[in-house]
Amino acid sequence: MTTAMSLYEKHAELLEKAVAALHTRDYFTPYPEHPKAYPAEDNEAGRNWFASSMNHEFTELDIDADNWVSEEVSPYFQTGIGVSYPQVDLDTLIANANTARSWKNVAVKERAALLMESLECVVKRYFDIAYATMHTTGQSFMMAFQASGPHANDRALEAIAMGYHEINRFPSEVNWVKPMGKFDLSLHKTWKAQPRGIGLVIGCSTFPTWNTVPGMYASLITGNPVIVKPHPKAVLPIAIVIAELRKVLKAHNIDPNVIQLAVDTTKDPVTKKLAEHKDVTLIDYTGGNAFGDYIESLDKITFTEKAGVNGVIIDSPKDIKSVAQNIAFSASLYSGQMCTAPQNVYVPEGGVETAEGHVSYDDVVAHIAKGVEGLVNHPKMGAGTLGGIQNDNTIKRISDGGSFGGDLVLDGQEISNPEFENARLFTPRVVATDYNNSSSFGEECFGPIIFIVKTKDRNHSLELAATMAATKGALTCLAYCTDEDMMSQIEETMNATFTPVSFNFGGAAFVNQHAAFSDFHVTGGNPAGNASFTNPEYVNKRFVWVGNRFAK
């Protein structure tokens, strides 16, 4: 059996590379994102594993329970997948976590090694996780594989590396000598990175691993036991990850209850009870604004990613056709069910100037609508780009929404997926509206919809985008501008609302994509969320430096 220390020797080189990548911010990943980088037979094995798991108990957590719950529904099958999970009562979860607080006594390098070993185990489950993600969230296979597999592992490793680096920022001990003239004052000083306590991570229904593992691993590397409370409609992907981590801990004689899964149902939720429990001191949350505001209101240390109204400023693009295609893809990807997806496209009523000449407002609208139509009706790209609608409320709001108070330029439609005849797909609605219609475009409208907002001029477009970011929150801003003075103005104004700007994206660059070790996801500075992963604060708030002094 390997020891935690020998595991450190195994993973030390990668850990140091990961720490270095935090500082260089260059492209870095040890986990290739394309399925073809992995054994070809793993794909079929993953598909078969998922099929054989349906309508069975998920026993990999190695937990005895009297009650098993199941609530997940495949957006592709439109039937329940039938996987059930052991439900542990709240008092037992808390008691287990309190017992597992001995995790803090494991040296940080050994904690890092154990956590990295779990990620190595997760690599072998990428295809299992991909199919689990597909049939709980509605993501396409490619997105499910990348987001819940390699990209989630990237973010987890990033959190491990940041925590390891920050805890090693200062020495653990020193012999301190102060010259006093005829004698020296000598003290022996020690410092401990003392973990805060029990961490609670509240998952979301659309990205059950990518949004969960950063907080989970950030709390674990800093010595805190963690309880993960997934969305009841998207449990299986993160359950696999937690199972692999528990197996690693148990194999190295460490209490596996350092990490626990807390399942519930929509009719009998436990999230508030867990969040309000006196022993829970850290909370990570991804989801809607109302519940996120509640989490932030608790007397806890919280890390939230909520919702925002992401804007696109079309000011002076090189050419409108490529702009329209990029916006169409970004807004259609996973049917707009991404926190980074663009929603509002701001276009001056007088149109825009391009390298190819003047383009009127109406023509900009037509190009965007045509871009969406061409994408969703493409026989090879349409269904794969859109994925499936995860939530009943999303499909109801979009399909019943009509024109949302504007002009319906392109209606949404149900289209077929040749692989899954019962898949729930709905194409984006494109609504042309006026800046006065803020009751529609002034809130996040989660799902497949694009509002093209007619503004007074370029300055008004920027003003609206900035106001939305400051008051409603924004995770992204996409800008098409070739005027250097205006680019500087957009950058300065949007950055002042703590919103990052992506300029002139085209080709394979899309505003939705945030890369680990390079892009900070959410800034934590506007209403879209109060934390940013993964910056130093994201891990430093999870522990406290405590110093002791000894007379010599």
* Residue 98: inside a domain: yes
Q: What is residue 337's predicted lDDT score, i.e. its pLDDT?
A: 95
The residue with tokens 């148990």 is 250
Q: What is residue 167's predicted lDDT score, i.e. its pLDDT?
A: 98
Q: What is residue 467's predicted lDDT score, i.e. its pLDDT?
A: 97
Residue 334 shares a structural domain with residue 237: no
- Tell me the mean pLDDT in the region 452-466: 98
* Residue 340: inside a domain: yes
Range from 105-119, 405-419, 448-462, 485-499 carrying the lowest mean pLDDT: 405-419
Residue 335 shares a structural domain with residue 260: no
Assign 171 a pLDDT band (cuts: 50, 70, 90): very high
Residue 287 shares a structural domain with residue 315: no
* Residue 525: inside a domain: no
Q: What is residue 4's predicted lDDT score, i.e. its pLDDT?
A: 67
Asked if residue 122 lies in contact with residue 153, where contact means CB atoms within 8 angstroms, the answer is: yes
pLDDT in tens, 436-446: 989 889 999 99
Evaluate if residue 401 carries a pLDDT over 80: no
* Residue 523: inside a domain: no
* Residue 522: inside a domain: no
Residue 61: helix, strand or coil by DSSP?
coil
Residue 482 shares a structural domain with residue 539: no
- Report the share of the chain in percent with pLDDT over 90: 93
Evaluate if residue 458 carries a pLDDT over 90: yes
Residue 242 shares a structural domain with residue 135: yes
Residue 215 shares a structural domain with residue 363: no
Q: What is residue 415's predicted lDDT score, i.e. its pLDDT?
A: 87
Q: Which long-range contacts (CB under 8 A, 24 or more apart) does 359-362 make?
A: 359/320, 361/454
- DSSP E strands: which ranges in 184-319? 184-195, 198-202, 226-229, 259-261, 280-286, 301-305, 311-316
The residue with tokens 């010259």 is 179
Assign 293 a pLDDT band (cuts: 50, 70, 90): very high
Q: What is residue 403's predicted lDDT score, i.e. its pLDDT?
A: 80
Tokens representing 438 are 């803020």
Evaluate if residue 404 carries a pLDDT over 90: no
The residue with tokens 């430093």 is 540
Which distant-in-sequence residues (6+ apart) come within 8 Å of 333 by Cβ?
143, 341, 385, 510, 512
The domain that contains 341 carries what CATH number?
A: 3.40.309.10
Residue 300 shares a structural domain with residue 357: no
Residue 317 shares a structural domain with residue 266: no
Residue 298 shares a structural domain with residue 332: no
Evaluate if residue 188 carries a pLDDT over 90: yes
C-alpha 74/C-alpha 135 separation (Å) is 4
Residue 288 shares a structural domain with residue 321: no
Largest Cα–Cα separation, the chain: 89
The domain that contains 129 carries what CATH number?
A: 3.40.605.10
* Residue 515: inside a domain: no
DSSP 138: -
How would you class 405 by CB atoms within 10 Å of its CB: exposed for 0-12, middle for 13-18, buried for 19 or more?
middle
State how beta strands 429-434 and 407-410 pair.
antiparallel
Assign 408 a pLDDT band (cuts: 50, 70, 90): very high
C-alpha 292/C-alpha 279 separation (Å) is 20
Residue 285 shares a structural domain with residue 321: no
Q: What is residue 3's predicted lDDT score, i.e. its pLDDT?
A: 73
Residue range of the domain that includes 206:
4-306+531-551
* Residue 450: inside a domain: yes
pLDDT in tens, 238-255: 999 999 999 999 999 999
- Report the share of the chain in percent with pLDDT over 70: 99
Structural domain total, the chain: 2
Residue 53: helix, strand or coil by DSSP?
helix
Evaluate if residue 1 carries a pLDDT over 90: no
Assign 396 a pLDDT band (cuts: 50, 70, 90): confident
Average pLDDT, the chain: 96
Asked if residue 220 lies in contact with residue 117, where contact means CB atoms within 8 angstroms, the answer is: no
C-alpha 293/C-alpha 220 separation (Å) is 25
* Residue 361: inside a domain: yes
Assign 395 a pLDDT band (cuts: 50, 70, 90): confident
Name residue 288's amino acid. G
Residue 498 shares a structural domain with residue 547: no
Q: What is residue 255's predicted lDDT score, i.e. its pLDDT?
A: 97
DSSP 258: G
